[in-house]
Amino acid sequence: MKRLLILLCMLPFFWGWGMPAHAMTISSINQSSVFSSGNDQENGMDSRANRAAAKALHLPSSTPTPTEGYRWPTRQLKIYMATHDRFLQSAFFGAVRAWNRTGAVHISWCHDEDRADIIAQDGSLTSTGTSSNVGYVSSQLGSTSTEYNPDTHALIRARSTLDPSQLDYTSRHFRTAVAEHELGHALGLAHAPEYMHSVMIPRNVRTGITRDDRATICLLYGLKR
Ligand SMILES: [Zn+2]
């Protein structure tokens, strides 16, 4: 059985007021939905699940930044650039470098989409819903969907989407922070509570990957610090 988790990072955008993009006030609504798409036959499913559970990946019991309860079975990962938007490409390149600097994973770019673990793409994310108040326009900046095996806790594939219509006119710093946040989901990180200093806080992507995030990714991938 496979499960697909879609993490919709609702990062409503604060327009106007002449503030630099990285200083913008951001509020968020986070939605996540889980549904399964089973290819398994009913017969023999339980025994397969039991065998798979026996091979479950070790996950740390607690981490500074919350995790989703799954990770890649390897620290060597491949990512495919599916967007041609040069601003978003730059953001994804920066985010990959930043996660590689943690030393916990090594993400390398590949030219074959079918062989990639993670897909870096663009897409319109405003169609999933907007809300507005006086002076605010809300829309989504990024989204990541992950496919994983719930028995082994192993990620199978992740797809991170950035919305060019929301991000192309922001700063490079801001775009890279959003890409780091989305790739954080692609590596198995969940949203952090607001009081934390983390790139995984949906309301605050002003910061990049923090010491807590680095500690978490190292724990998740079994790297002694
Ligand atoms: Zn998010």
**Domains defined along the chain, listed by start:** 2-220 (3.40.390.10)
Tokens representing 162 are 């950035």
For the question of whether the overall pTM of this predicted structure is more than 0.85, the answer is no
Q: Among the listed ranges 46-60, 113-127, 175-189, 207-221, which one has the minimum average pLDDT value?
A: 46-60
Task: Indicate the pLDDT class of residue 204, thresholds 50, 70 and 90.
Answer: low
pLDDT of 22 over the 50 cut:
no
Burial 174-212 (b: 16+ CB within 10 A, else e): bbbbbbbbbbbbbbbbbbbeeebebbbbbbbbbbbbbeb
Tokens for 211?
A: 């010491």
Query: For residue 121, how far is its CA from the centre of ligand 1 (angstroms)?
Result: 15
Taking the centre of ligand 1 as the mean of its atom positions, its distance from the CA of residue 209, in whole angstroms, is 13
The pLDDT assigned to 20 comes to 33
| Alpha-carbon gap, residue 2 to 37, rounded angstroms | 6
Q: In whole angstroms, give the CA distance from residue 51 to residue 16.
A: 55
Of the two residues 60 and 137, the one the predictor is more confident about is 60
Residue 73's pLDDT is 96
> What pLDDT sits at residue 29?
29
> Residue 89 has what pLDDT?
98
- Calculate how far, in angstroms, residue 19's C-alpha sits from the geometric centre of ligand 1: 23
Residue ranges near ligand 1 (ion) with Cβ within 5 Å: 9
Instruction: Please tell me the predicted confidence (pLDDT) of residue 151.
Output: 92
Confidence of residue 224 (pLDDT cuts 50, 70, 90): low
pLDDT at residue 83 is higher than 80:
yes
What is the whole-number distance in angstroms between the Cα of residue 16 and the centre of ligand 1?
23
Determine the distance separating the centroid of ligand 1 and the alpha carbon of 225, expressed in angstroms.
26
Structure confidence at residue 19 as a pLDDT band (50, 70, 90): very low
CA of 109 to the centre of ligand 1 (A): 22
Biggest CA–CA distance in the chain, Å, is 62
Per-residue pLDDT at 128 exceeds 50? no
CA of 200 to the centre of ligand 1 (A): 6
Query: pLDDT digits over 154-203, tens only?
Result: 999 999 999 999 898 899 999 999 999 999 999 999 999 988 999 999 86
Q: What are phi and psi of 68, to 5 degrees?
A: -85, -10
**pLDDT confidence bin for 2, thresholds 50/70/90:** confident
